[in-house]
A and B are shown apart, each in its own frame.
Chain A
Amino acid sequence: MTTTGLKSPIGAMAPSVVPPSGRIDIQHKLMIGLLTVLAIGVAATFTLPALWMLLGSLRPGSQVIESVSPLSWHTLIPNTWTLENYTTLFGELRFGTSMANSLLVAFASVIIGLALSVPAAYALTVLHFRGREFVFSLLVIGFMIPFEAIAIPLAQLFTDWGLNNSYVGLILPGIGNGLAIFNMRQFFQGIPVSLREAAVIDGASDLRIMTRIYVPLSVTTLINSGLLIFLAQWSSYLWPLLIISDEAKQVAPIAIARTYTDTSFNFGQMFGGALLISIVPAVLLFLLQRFFAQSIATSGEK
């Protein structure tokens, strides 16, 4: 403790202008130590339930609850390891079909959603016409009303239109996203008008300008908007609950929720299913988290 002397604090740890002193150095290290312990504690609290689910899905289902008393390491760590829960999920429970349905719906929604939002954002950025701000507000506010709020009346309409129990019925409500249009327009506004003007003089059409200039310049924003649409559709629960009764077209969140209320179902399989529906968003978010946090966190700022 006494040997620290006048050793100056390591580069970035403290602002260089503060005169270094041993006491501050020790205090600082202690503080860092305490904060690290706190951070580990917080991290463990958030991870533990997920870890318990993961390990629970790798043990015979009955052991999930049996292992609670007496409380021991085996409450968390299985004494018997098995992949049986997963083979049952993909075998007789046909969870693979539900996962495939979810993937199809989410990807189709992203593609259609972007094909719809990009031209809209483009027109609202570069074209001048009366009522432009009105159309913009209509689209953004309209799509920002959480879908849940109008899901029930919309489901009744979809039933009238014969769209229940169809993929089209699942995809359509996910294609419009106010935040996506808003973000894209924000980004398009940052692209110099001179680029378009030069292209117009060269005789390029707006379709060409949009696909050759605006789209390539806004890949980050497009990824982010696509991710928003994908995640919303992937975790959608109320909507498929309302319009899908045909098991062959059911999406994964509902398929796994159905089993929760089924008393004969085993917890290991349930945990396996819950984790399987988390893998796709997990992979996407970890790959794309930079884009994700950035553009939303700053969209309110600049």
Chain B
Amino acid sequence: MHPTVPVRHSLTRRQLRTAVLFLAPAVAAIVLLRLVPFLGAAWSTLFERAGVGLLAEERFAGFDNYVTLFGDPLFLNTLVRTIVFNLVINPVQIALAMAIAVLMTRRIPGRGIWRTAVFIPCTIPLVGSSIAWGVALRGDGPVNGILSALGIGPQPFLTSPTQALPSIILVASWVGIGYWMLFLIGGLNDINNEVYEAASIDGASGWRTFWSITLPLMKRPLLFVLVADTVANFVLFVPPQLLTNGGPEESTTLLMFDAYRRTYTYSQPNLGATSTLVLTLIMLLIVAIQFRLLRERD
């Protein structure tokens, strides 16, 4: 090993050529597959169509689309709903994932088996989870069968404006919790055992140990999971599209579904792009936070 500080290479022509060759495919991919569509979408939000449909003539409209969108109570409700949905589903999923991760790292018999069991649903793509719960939560489905056996009347679940969104939280959490649990278990295993031994010498209770040792040491994996989970749930699309079609009474219309429906069902691509752009800006903010978290180190 050379003890010297890496010498700042004076850039040779050859090195630059290598850099260009090695980076060109990735840069071309990001430009064509991310930047161009993003900028194209941003540009198209400034236009409107003379008629309805994808082939109608476009004309410059300034910020009309934004005015229309933010003046549309349906969109504002969707925006608020998406944010509230995320403020509920992310803490719920992570709190449960953390609780189960802690449970599954205890020295209990057969923990590998129980851990695997929790992880099983994660291998089922969201489409599969949606199908399973779509059938399970039917009026004549097994969940209502169990509820009836327990003396609770049948519930409408996906067909009720108040229960549909919580049902979708269930659909997404069944596959999500085990997934995030896996990362948290990774983090828990990284905590040095000596720290716990020291705490137990000091006579700290289990609860106290959790709050004052485990949680602070888990800050980073928890933050990572929180941001990654938020990113995933902000663009949640499959359950509303497949199970409820945004209904009943718009109660499950989330931003991603709204952008999809405006573009394809209502044939208003410029409004759809505007909706997409609002979503992307929110995502960019979350990703910027995520990037900071990933780079931070001490």
Contact = CB atoms under 8 A, between A and B. Distances in A.
B287 A281 contact: no
B235 A149 contact: yes
A36 B280 contact: no
B200 A15 contact: yes
Interface in A2-21: 12-13, 15, 17-18
5 residue pairs, one from A and one from B, having the closest CB atoms: A297-B186, A274-B128, A43-B117, A153-B41, A282-B123
A141 interface: yes
B22 A154 contact: no
**A interface majority secondary structure:** helix
Contacts, number: 300
Given A119-B23, A182-B294, A267 B135 contact: yes
Nearest to B199: A15
Chain A: number of interface residues, binned into ranges:
35 or more
Nearest to A193: B6
B66 to A, nearest CB: 16
B51 interface: no
Interface residues of B, number: 113
Interface string A285-302: 110010011101111111
Interface of A: 12-13, 15, 17-18, 32, 35-36, 38-40, 42-44, 46-47, 49-50, 52-53, 64-65, 68-69, 71, 75, 115-117, 119-120, 122-124, 127-130, 135, 137-146, 148-150, 152-154, 156-157, 172-173, 175-176, 181-182, 192-194, 197, 206, 234-235, 237-238, 241-242, 253, 256-257, 260-261, 267, 270-271, 274-275, 277-278, 281-282, 285-286, 289, 292-294, 296-302
Contacts of B177: 46
Contacts of A117: 26
Nearest to B99: A42
Contact of A274 (B16, B131, B196): B131
Nearest to A278: B124
27 contacts: A36-B110, A39-B108, A46-B177, A64-B135, A65-B141, A71-B142, A120-B22, A123-B23, A127-B19, A129-B11, A138-B30, A139-B26, A143-B34, A145-B38, A156-B37, A175-B33, A193-B6, A238-B256, A242-B264, A256-B131, A278-B128, A289-B182, A297-B190, A298-B186, A300-B220, A300-B224, A301-B297
Given A120-B23, A150-B280, A297-B221, A253 B149 contact: no
A237 to B, nearest CB: 5
A61 B229 CA distance: 35
Interface stretch (B56-64, B70-78, B269-277): B269-277
Given A49-B121, A137-B291, A286-B123, 10 more contacts: A15-B200, A119-B22, A130-B11, A141-B284, A146-B232, A156-B37, A175-B33, A193-B2, A293-B182, A293-B185
Interface in B212-265: 220-221, 223-224, 231-232, 234-235, 237-238, 241-242, 256, 259-260, 263-264
B38 A153 contact: yes
Contacts of A299: 224, 294
Contacts of B165: none
Contact of B15 (A127, A148, A149): A127
Contacts of B151: none
B285 to A, nearest CB: 11
A144 B290 contact: yes
B138 A260 contact: no
B15 A146 contact: no
Contacts of B260: 152, 238
A222 to B, nearest CB: 15
B115 to A, nearest CB: 8
A204 to B, nearest CB: 12
Contact of A52 (B128, B136, B284): B136
Contacts of B174: 46, 49
B146 interface: yes
Contacts of A122: 22
A42 B235 contact: no
A153 B37 contact: yes
A120 B26 contact: yes
Contacts of A17: 197, 200-201
Contacts of A152: 41, 259-260, 263, 272-273, 276
